[in-house]
Structure 1
Amino acid sequence: MIVDVFLQGTNWNYNNVGVNLLIEITQRLYKMPLAQIIEEHVCLPMEFKQTGWCKEQNDKLVWINEQYANDQGTEANLFMSARELAYWGYVHLNRGVIDGKQILAEKIFKQTTSIISPADLKHELPRNGFFFGLYKMSRVLQQS
């Protein structure tokens, strides 16, 4: 259940409500756990072998006394090697094009890097994209 803390556009509060809702919608749409969706549609095509959800500690992970109930993609236990994280950033810089081939749809990158905050949001509140805080960038864009 989603409960409004304040009227839309009047304040800002970090939480995972939107992320959790997106996970639920995605799992219902694909009829499989998010971890499996990411594995099939992202990790396998990109040949990621050091990325995935883990619920148990192992020597290859930086583990800070976390405890997770599952490895199905519903918790914050997605682990990724530094090399694959850097490559993921490279994929974003190229909007999904690697070696001249569009491996992930360009519209994904346009949507996830666009500001979606209400235009009339108070100036002192951060502007956000799909998943990325774009507070400083939004001020630069407003000044140009």
Structure 2
Amino acid sequence: MELSTTFKNVIDSVDNTYQTLDCTGAALVIYQNNELQVERYWGKHSAKEDARFVQSDTKFHIASCRKSYVAFAVAYALHHGFIQSLDDEILTYLPISQQNELYKGTTIRHLVTHSHGLIERNGEVVREFTAGTSWAYRDINVELIAKIIQLATKKTIAEIVTDEVFTPLHFTETNWYNTFDDTFVDVIGKENNRHWAASLNLDGSKKNLYTSARELAKWGLLHLNNGSLNGKQVIDSNIFKLATTLQNPSYSNADLPENGIFWFVKDTQANQSEIGELVPNGAYQILGYTTVTLLVIPSENIVAVRAFNSYGNPGGYDYLKDVRAFGDAVMLDLK
């Protein structure tokens, strides 16, 4: 279903990415002023001849876009005082058995803004740079924050998001999964594993989160409206403001990306930003390795979601250029 011809540039942008990636299906959903403007689907769930067509209930593996849900759990823990401050050292919350001298000086803020400087190599945690001085995208920060949240709140990430969002707001197409039906896409290019990173672990710390494009857009609308749904405040607005406000430490290198709590936030046009040059300040975005993208532009009352079932990037594909072009296409369509 395509409801508007206003967004021709962004439709063309998604179509071009769909043709470029090693994928079999794609989706695009755009809301403006809380009204659905575009809902469009491409292709099938897999390369099989009898594969199901991508449609409104198709569930995509969203990879690192799941960090927007992790961000909610972090902001929830901060708002309710389970975590006192973003600037608390992580050693404050980890038990003796998980203490590591390398963690000293590393704060919650460092974990959630990718400025922690930690990396796991050959099963051992090592330090790449002093916490707060640079930026690197590593998975260890999610592993650590998941432990901290569970210890501090006595709930897992998945339990927090389910209790506060999924159940009361009737999100029925979003969750961490380890069993699948025909509404799930295959992740193309990840051989020997039909559903990439399909962990048996459902606590929210792993990469096995799937959602439909339409429900990912609904998640974006909840952020755009600061926890209000259909004119009713259903979740405290401060939780969303915490997650999507600029939170990273000041870097000496102005080219480094800018982050809220995991979200990429547009405050300046940093050279390594994943948000397009034409997108105004105050916008925030989350991108996954499957190229799934959720972009929220508050000043334009826009939520834009694109989804694909690709695994990583083909040779010659510049993911930063491509995802910036997505946001820029939205803005071009608003002129």
Q: Do they superpose with TM above 0.5?
A: yes
Letter of the structure 2 residue corresponding to residue 34 of structure 1: I
| Mapping 1:108-127, distance limit 5 Å | 108-127=239-258
| Mapping 1:6-45, distance limit 5 Å | 6-45=129-168
For 1:126 and 1:31, locate their aligned partners in 2 and report how far apart those are by CA, in whole Å. Answer: 32
For 2:169 and 2:156, locate their aligned partners in 1 and report how far apart those are by CA, in whole Å. Answer: 19
For 1:87 and 1:119, locate their aligned partners in 2 and report how far apart those are by CA, in whole Å. Answer: 32
| TM-score scaled by length of structure 2 | 0.38
Residue 84 (str. 1) matches residue 215 (str. 2): yes
Aligned-pair CA distance for 1:43: 0.3
Aligned-pair CA distance for 1:100: 2.4
Q: Is the 8 A contact 2:174 2:209 kept in 1?
A: yes
Q: Is the 8 A contact 2:134 2:251 kept in 1?
A: no
**Highest relative contact order (Cα 8 Å, sep 6+), 1 or 2?**
2
Q: Give CA-to-partner distance per residue, 1:71-128, whole Å, 9 cap, x none.
A: 2322111111222111111111101111222111111111111111222441121121
Aligned-pair CA distance for 1:36: 2.6
Q: Is the 8 A contact 1:9 1:122 kept in 2?
A: no
Q: Counterpart of 2:237? A: 106
Q: Give CA-to-partner distance per residue, 1:19-76, whole Å, 9 cap, x none.
A: 2222212222343433233222210111111111112343111232314232232211
Structure with the higher strand share, 1 or 2: 2
State percent identity of aligned pairs. Answer: 35
CA-based RMSD of the aligned residues comes to 2.0
Q: Is the 8 A contact 1:115 1:129 kept in 2?
A: yes
Q: Is the 8 A contact 1:52 1:80 kept in 2?
A: yes
| DSSP 3-state at the match of 1:139 | coil
Q: Counterpart of 1:138? A: 267
Task: List structure 1 segments (4+ residues) > 4 angstroms apart after TM superposition.
Answer: none
For 1:103 and 1:73, locate their aligned partners in 2 and report how far apart those are by CA, in whole Å. Answer: 22
For 1:32 and 1:93, locate their aligned partners in 2 and report how far apart those are by CA, in whole Å. Answer: 26
- Gaps of at least 5 residues in structure 2 are 1-99, 104-117, 119-126, 188-192, 270-280, 282-335
Q: Is the 8 A contact 2:173 2:211 kept in 1?
A: yes
| DSSP 3-state at the match of 2:210 | strand
| DSSP 3-state at the match of 1:40 | helix
| TM-score scaled by length of structure 1 | 0.82
Q: Is the 8 A contact 1:12 1:126 kept in 2?
A: yes
CA pair 58-20 structure 1, distance change in 2 beyond 3 A? same
Structure with the higher helix share, 1 or 2: 1
Letter of the structure 2 residue corresponding to residue 138 of structure 1: D
Q: Is the 8 A contact 1:127 1:138 kept in 2?
A: yes
- Gaps of at least 5 residues in structure 1 are none
Q: Which moved more, 1:27-36 or 1:68-77?
A: 27-36
Letter of the structure 1 residue corresponding to residue 164 of structure 2: H
